[in-house]
Amino acid sequence: MNAHGTAAGALDIAGAINFRDVGGLPAAGGSTRGGVLFRSGNLARLAPAGIDAVRSLGLRRIIDLRADDEVEHEPTPAGLAATTQRTPLFLGSVASFFTEDVPLSEMYRRLVDDAADRVVDVVRGIVEEQPVLVHCTVGKDRTGVTVALALAAAGVDEEAVIADYARTESLLPARRNARVVEILSAMHPRARNIEELATRSPAPVMRGLLGDLRARFGSPRGYLLAHGLADDEVDELARTLIVR
């Protein structure tokens, strides 16, 4: 347990869900630094105490992966960080994945293929300024994939990367999950993948994504290099995130 009374890494930020520090993950010869890279769901419903808690982290950059309509509907409170980086990752509507009823693995494959340049922009943003928070609406998919790729490219143990991704499922409130699944099921009565898309973060899905990138690009690092990140930027990512 930490000072916030939560499991290691998870932060009790009033009004936020799935907010955590990725410090303490095992990496070759060391572990990830605490207080450098944070991840979460959106910040629109932060209570005053939550705003104070986020400000106390000293964030220098917030990277928001949501689409314009999501940001307009649930804007982030002002004054939480010196820099806000908008990097929408889904080129189409998020709702299209529910309409098409794609499995989570297919959603991730499309993300890394169709938004590779933006994934690189996110990783570059992590390198440029810290402490940094990466978030989307729930902190599960867009955040889960980009943080996983950053950690893997930096040299974090693959099983630790997968476990960090999979942990999201246990941090999403059950009441929220039930409400979202009910709403989406009413909108898409024939869809079979709603629960997985809206509430799940299965370890095999991330393991499969990392395996696919390894097969096609040699490694997650190779994927980032193939899409515009420089070797020295990846080296700096490792120096930033890993303490030995």
Residue 10 lies in a domain: no
User: Using an 8 Å Cβ cutoff, are 45 and 16 in contact?
Assistant: yes
The CATH code of the domain that includes 163 is 3.90.190.10
3-state secondary structure of 206: helix
CA 121, 127, 132: angle at the middle one, nearest 5?
90
How close are the terminal C-alpha atoms of the chain, in Å?
23
Asked if residue 9 is part of any domain, the answer here is no
Answer left, alpha or beta for residue 5, where phi above 0 means left and psi between -120 and 50 means alpha.
Answer: left
The pLDDT value recorded for residue 93 is: 62
pLDDT at res. 99: 78
pLDDT at 227 over 90: yes
Give SS3 for 77.
coil
Examine residue 243 and state whether it is found in any structural domain, yes or no. Answer: no
Any domain includes 61 = yes
- Residue 28 placed within a domain: yes
Q: How confident is the model at residue 2 (pLDDT cuts 50, 70, 90)?
A: very low
Q: pLDDT for 61-100, tens place per residue?
A: 999 999 999 999 999 999 999 999 999 998 666 777 877 8
Which residue range forms the structural domain that includes residue 91? 20-237
Assign 37 to helix, strand or coil.
strand
Per the domain annotation, does 45 fall within a domain?
Answer: yes
Overall domain count for the chain? 1
Q: Is it the case that residue 31 has pLDDT exceeding 90?
A: yes
Strand ranges (DSSP E) for 2-91?
A: 20-21, 26-27, 30-32, 37-40, 61-64, 83-86
At 5 the pLDDT is: 33
Distance of CA 62 to the CA centre of its chain: 12
In a domain, 128, yes or no: yes
Confidence class of residue 1 from pLDDT cuts 50, 70 and 90? very low
Nearest-5° Cα angle at 179, 174 to 180: 100
CB 85, CB 125: distance < 8 Å: yes
Average pLDDT taken over every residue of the chain: 93
Instruction: Calculate mean pLDDT across residues 204-216.
Output: 98
The pTM for the full model equals: 0.93
Within a domain: 149: yes
Residue 47 has, within 13 A of its CA and on its CB side, a CA count of 6
